[in-house]
Amino acid sequence: MEMKSKQLLILYATQTGNALDVAERIAREAERRACSVVIRSTDEYDASSLPAEDAVIFVVSTTGQGDTPDSMKVFWKFLLQRNLGSHWMEGVHYAVFGLGDSGYQKYNFVAKKLDKRLSDLGATAVIERGLGDDQHLSGYEAALDPWMSSLWSGLNEIKPDFFPEGLDFLVSVEELIGQPKFRVTYHDVDNMDSQLSTATDFKYLQMQITRARTMSSGKVPLEKSKPDAFLKMVKNFPLTRASHEKDVRHFEFEFVSQVIEFEVGDVLEVLPSQKPAAVDSFIQRCNLDPESFITVHPREMENHLADNNLSALDVPIKLRTFVELTMDVASASPRRYFFEVMSFFATAEHEKERLQYFASPEGRDDLYQYNQKERRTVLEVLEDFPSVKMPFEWLVQLVPPLKNRAFSISSSPLAHPNQVHLTVDVVSWTTPFKRKRWGLCSTWLASLSPEQRIYIPVWFHKGLLPPPPPSLPLILIGPGTGCAPFRGFVEERAVQSQSSTIAPTLFFFGCRNKHNDFLYRDLWLSHSQNDGVLSEAKGGGFYAAFSRDQPQKVYVQHKMQEQSQRIWSLLCEGAAVFVAGSSTKMPSDVMVALEEIISKESGAPRESASRWLRSLEKAGKYHVEAWS
């Protein structure tokens, strides 16, 4: 057990980096008040030490359908132990700030259940939990600013020792800014191994990606540094009509490296390629030498890296390669702290004032309109403030990391050995100021052709839809690109049906128009005929809702209502429900439709139907994979 800490402990659990941003922001604000801070990820902290802490601030995000981030799973499992009594954390004060998206059913579920569990273990809340919402006009910061103000007041009342100079004391931001977290070392090119500039195969690419992303390890999880495999595209064709407002593509890839085993329902993560022109413009704007060789070290390396990863940091890499593989310069929008640090390096007074305003609580909404709402990129922001000359070390720290993009795999390895298929909506939109924007990864994939032989770095991992055994009856609901994982399910069952009996499968698909965006139409129709997987002869069925083909809108839930008897019959036979697609309203509309069907067909009240569905979820027979 650790000695009682006199420092404020901030624990964060993040999946995409947002919770880390918030934790660092809280830490900076605490340090401005002369409060000593320790900040740790939940997977770097021994949960058995919690009773020895004075006060703990938790910043946690919610992933998927109410799941804890991967980095919190072991920590959370420890807290759920029954032998931890109701006095285990007595005397410990805590506060919880959650990050979520109210478009999802289980909004901020992790923060809510953590708050309850800490209270059940005897800890005392300093203030009510704060819940940041991605859907809010100002994002999660709309809830964070007032929550932090209350936090300092509440903490000062309970533990004034945290603020030795008093609550009104504030260190100037100039004093606090200090050094960036990363140190960049430049190396003599003449001493570099010639292999660095001559090798071209995917193994060399793998080495470059691993090296660059390991150097950026404070921002890229170590397990995501080295790609699991490399793929090459073999097919790329549209699933929607050219005249349709959406461009949905079918991509087929083959392994060029070792074949990775995967199952239906798994997820493929792709590291997208940035436009060379954008990378060049960023390097030129920041007055950097693209040909220089660098190594990047976190200043507190021991907090971020295991010993076996240190060797990767000792081999220099070209600056341009590092930027290209780790820094999202022309897609992601920078955080508020980026503007704060920019203000120190602005030499034009009007730019400095504007940046300071953007970084202040008063300027929060204007910053949101300028930055997040317009999806301004790092490169665009730097071009808007030409007097700013930010050192590369700060850019390494503050430019958003180039993140992998996750896609549901839409093929079965049984049906397509050595291949992976994806169903991808090529993302584009218009900002409030009428600027056209494109999704980085989907646009890049759509631009590739099989002749190019581009090596695509990928990672495989489990999704939220476990592969169903052939004997399990299925009710699948997948409108739009939500059909992607179910294409894999149906293909797999078609192969399995050749050698064994398979259980019935009902599939409800939805799109706007029968003739514009009926994705995989021929596939579904062929499997719903001639004793196919979705045929009525096999106890199955395929039902499509075309929302815009008639005056009144028809969605998947309406088609489900029409088949209420068949759905109820399959549920009584032990069927599992799988839902995939947009996170906005669809998952909750489907849940409501199922409640109504169960209530109608069983004669039970709605409350009982709702409980019945919850028990289905607990039994592992109700799965949702939704994305925004």
Which residues are annotated binding-site positions for FMN?
Answer: 14-19, 61-64, 134
CA angle 179, 182, 185 (to 5 degrees): 110
Instruction: Report the C-alpha gap between 496 and 474 in whole angstroms.
Output: 15
List of residues 6+ apart from 302 with CB closer than 8 A = none
Tokens in use for 53? 């802490």
| Known binding residues for NADP(+) | 481, 547-548, 553-557, 589
**Alpha carbon separation from 205 to 196, 202, 279, 613 (Å, rounded):** 10, 5, 18, 48
HSE toward the beta carbon, residue 266, CA cutoff 13 A: 17
Residues shown for the chain: 628
Name residue 508's amino acid: F
Residue 581: which H helix or E strand, with range?
strand 576-582
Is the four-CA dihedral 295, 322, 17, 14 of positive or negative sign? Answer: negative
Q: What are residue 68's phi and psi, to 5 degrees? A: -75, 150
| Known binding residues for FAD | 375, 405-408, 439-442, 627
| Known binding residues | 14-19, 61-64, 134, 375, 405-408, 439-442, 481, 547-548, 553-557, 589, 627
Chain CA centroid to CA 280, Å: 27
Contact assessment for residue 48 and residue 89, using Cβ atoms and an 8 Å cutoff: no
SS3 286: coil
Instruction: Report the C-alpha gap between 459 and 61 in whole angstroms.
Output: 22
The 8-class DSSP code of residue 186 comes to E
Alpha-carbon dihedral 360, 362, 364, 365, rounded to 10 degrees: -160
Instruction: Report the C-alpha gap between 7 and 27 in whole angstroms.
Output: 11
Instruction: Report the C-alpha gap between 335 and 22 in whole angstroms.
Output: 10
Instruction: Report the C-alpha gap between 133 and 11 in whole angstroms.
Output: 20
SS3 297: strand
Three-state SS string across 399-417, please? CCECCCEEEEECCCCCCCC
Q: What are residue 267's phi and psi, to 5 degrees? A: -120, 140
Instruction: Report the C-alpha gap between 598 and 624 in whole angstroms.
Output: 19
